[in-house]
Amino acid sequence: MTTRPARSLPSSYFERMYRADPDPWRFGDSPYEAGKYAATLAAMGDGRFPRALEVGCSIGIFTGMLARRCERLVAIDVSDTALGQARRRLEQAPHVSLHRMQVPDEWPGGRFNLLLLSEVLYYLDRPDLARLADRAKACLEPGGLAVLVHWIGGTDYPLSGDEAAEQFIRLMRPVAEPAQQTRHEKYRLDVLVRPGRQGTPGPDGRT
């Protein structure tokens, strides 16, 4: 039986992974990732987002897809090596800004219409996940979406995908509530909506 780490994984864990392999999770060529990307974009609806935040952008593959749906996109990751690849990949997308940050201690300023947390929450322990939820609640605009995507198989991280997603959803109430929850063979996808000033928005984040 795998013993889970008691604390959030440090930045050095991810830096070692990317230095050993430029695409350690096969973001570029995995059928699993390709299907997950398509499902994630579909879950966001057809609208555009004035300002979005992607937490854990890695080497920028999904970031490039998401950028086509955003007026401005802030993408952050804890690994300088991964961000180097992302910057090269997105050099023709000036509306995308990339930053090295380790959540929840570091967080970009401003408010967002979309928060994407894909395959990141289970790297945190429960106290850090609670602090991240506080960050999310403070910056999610009325009518905005928080999209969670997580592997539901076994992990050797502080939390499983289900544990992480369920805790985050619980902590986001009453600011945001689940509007869509789907379970695929290997991952779950949850879309939370913060009610807008004029009522609850549709899937594209607009009222």
Predicted pLDDT at 4: 86
Predicted pLDDT at 200: 36
**Strand order of the sheet with strand 96-100?**
96-100, 70-77, 49-55, 112-118, 140-151, 187-193, 177-183
Q: Which CATH class is domain 30-193?
A: alpha beta
pLDDT < 50 stretches in the chain: 1, 198-207
Predicted pLDDT at 3: 81
Average pLDDT, the chain: 93
For the chain, the first-to-last Cα distance in angstroms comes to: 48
CA 186 to chain centre: 17
Predicted pLDDT at 143: 96
Predicted pLDDT at 197: 59
Q: DSSP letter for 201, please.
A: -
